[in-house]
Amino acid sequence: MARIVKRAYKYRFYPTPEQADELARTFGCVRYIYNKALQERTRAYTQQGRRVSYVETSAMLTAWKKTPELAFLGEVSSVPLQQALRHLQAGFANFFAKRAKYPTFKSRKKSRASAEYTRSAFRWRDGQLTLAKMNAPLNIRWSRPLPEGAQPSTVTASRDSAGRWFVSILVEEAIRPLDPADNRVGVDAGITALVTLSTGEKVTNPTHERADRRTLARAQRALARKAKGSNNRAKARIKVARVYARIADRRRDHLHKVTTRLVRENQVIAVEDLTVRTMVRNRSLARAISDAAWRELRSMLEYKCAWYGREMVAVDRWFPSSKLCSACGTLQQSMPLSIRSWTCACGVAHDRDINAAKNILAAGLAER
């Protein structure tokens, strides 16, 4: 039976100069409102011990628009501004529920420039998308079609640090679960091999960051030589951002291919519950771990398994998958990272990563 899920389709688009100006103003107003509301909520919480609700911040926004110094807020669509307040409310809800840290201010240079539009602030007609305050539809590159009959519920326009424009369209889609599969697999995440499977297969890590390291270093040196505040420095910064964007795009594409294949071929997928945030503190491995993107790999497996009727099992991070013999169950006293293969007392020779993947699969099946 098909499941109804909310799914976002992301496309690149090319705005006209007028559309680019309108979106840039909207991005700035969204960031300003978010920061100003956060400042007011922080002041009330620290000085008065009082929690400010979304309704109160919405009333503040109405009052701010009526002041001469903030009249510019009325020049952009009000929906993205309200959505910024809702996102801030969600941030505080997660903080008070101890699911996240205290909300932080958005930076013009570091924060993602984006604006979210709900149904009242865009028009979807004949396959064309027109945002509020715009007279013409966006020039979108439809790299893949939306589901037939899909009606967007939310649209998010954004611009990345490389100057590329994107629109993310959220729709409800009926996804039919895949036919049941007989295969089960254990997945051991690594650096030399991106993942090692309990079947003995190793998926090579493309090391996208390492492949473009020389190009990135050259662009960064050129940026460092430019005078701060100059137009040449702004151009050089975009060149650096484009290299980073290329690395991220290639990495994400490879992860999608690997995770989609694992989900299609296996009914149960067992993985380690790794704490990537702690592991990247190791200066020797931080760069390689970040390039492997284990956290993104895990996230993709989670939502794809949920979509397509597969089961993902996370094995406890302290489980000694590398030190345990998958044949007889003997636990080795130590297993330094430098040891890539070893022979157990029972006579079975092990590849470190394949043995770990087999143990992860066994532990995952035992925890179901």
Band (293; pLDDT cuts 50, 70, 90): confident
Query: Do the Cβ atoms of 194 and 257 come closer than 8 Å?
Result: no
pLDDT at 2: 80
pLDDT at 171: 95
Mean pLDDT for 170-179 is 92
CA atoms of 303 and 8, how far apart (whole Å):
12
Catalytic center residues? 188, 272, 353
Whether 76 has a pLDDT exceeding 80, the answer reads yes
Contacts of 119 (CB under 8 A, 6+ apart): 152, 153, 154
pLDDT at 163: 93
Mean pLDDT value of segment 56-63 = 96
pLDDT band at 280 (very low <50, low <70, confident <90, very high): low
The predicted model gives 78-95 an average pLDDT of 96
Q: Which of 108-112, 121-125, 185-189 has the lowest mean pLDDT?
A: 108-112
The model's pLDDT over 229-271, given as tens digits with 9 standing for 90+, comes to: 899 999 999 999 999 999 999 999 999 999 999 999 999 999 9
Segment 205-215 shows an average pLDDT of: 85
Residue 178 has pLDDT above 80, yes or no: yes
